[in-house]
Amino acid sequence: MTRKNSRHHYPVPDTVLQLSLPDGAGRSGYATSYPHLLQSLVGRPIDAAGYVAATHMVYGWMPTVLELRTRSAVPFAEEATILESARNGADLSEDQLHQLKASINNSIVGVSKLLHFLCPDRYAIWDSKVYSYMRAVAYPGWNGRVDHEDVNKTGRYTIYMDELRCLVADHAFQPAHQRVSHAMGYPVTALRAAEVLMYANAP
């Protein structure tokens, strides 16, 4: 279910299947705001204005100030087109992810959150807490120091997504998925369930 371990690879571990959320997880500000943020983007066209609005909304969940950049002749038009294609079912290439990353604070974390809120059943959030969980399981002697340059690698996100999709497609993941939806008090996608379990159980 996971790729073979290597010195620079922290696979999505099967231990996720046994994880649960702590008591009260569904009452946090993040948990209660989550379905409203999802709903606010349903049916909204992702043109340049929609791109700017959606990225600023997502950065309400992040501790850093957003600075948007664009290489488009029409500001944010190319980025909006990439997002709209993702929402319509396209698998984004690493080059497309790089372009979004360059636009959004040079942050693959920010890109992952934006993609998740637009396509919650196809993209998962990636951040330093998820990274920490995966690395701690892969290397039990790890000192807990997060390498933010490592977290910010687009290639690491694409590997994570490949593995996470395999994990949640397995029938064995269904009980964990159900536990998360129950704890949150509303249904979540399988990808969201797996991500939030790792986030909540990170060292």
Domain ranges of the chain: 14-200
Residue carrying the six token digits 């664009």: 70
pTM of the model: 0.93
Q: What confidence tens digit (pLDDT) does each residue in 128-142 have?
A: 999 999 999 999 999
Q: What confidence tens digit (pLDDT) does each residue in 90-109 have?
A: 999 999 999 999 999 999 99
pLDDT grade for 172, boundaries at 50, 70 and 90? very high
Backbone angles phi, psi at 6, to 5 degrees: -145, 175
pLDDT grade for 8, boundaries at 50, 70 and 90? low
Q: What separation in angstroms does the CA of 44 have from each of 18, 49, 82, 99?
A: 37, 10, 15, 22
pLDDT grade for 6, boundaries at 50, 70 and 90? very low
Q: 124, 191 in Cβ contact below 8 A? A: yes
Q: How far apart are CA 60 and CA 175, in angstroms?
A: 31
Inform me whether the pLDDT recorded for 5 exceeds 50: no
* Residue 9 C-beta-side C-alpha neighbours within 13 Å: 13
What pLDDT is attached to residue 73?
A: 84
What pLDDT is attached to residue 43?
A: 85
Q: What confidence tens digit (pLDDT) does each residue in 21-76 have?
A: 999 999 999 999 999 999 999 988 899 999 999 999 999 988 899 999 998 888 99
Q: How many helices (H) and strands (E) does the chain have?
A: 10, 0
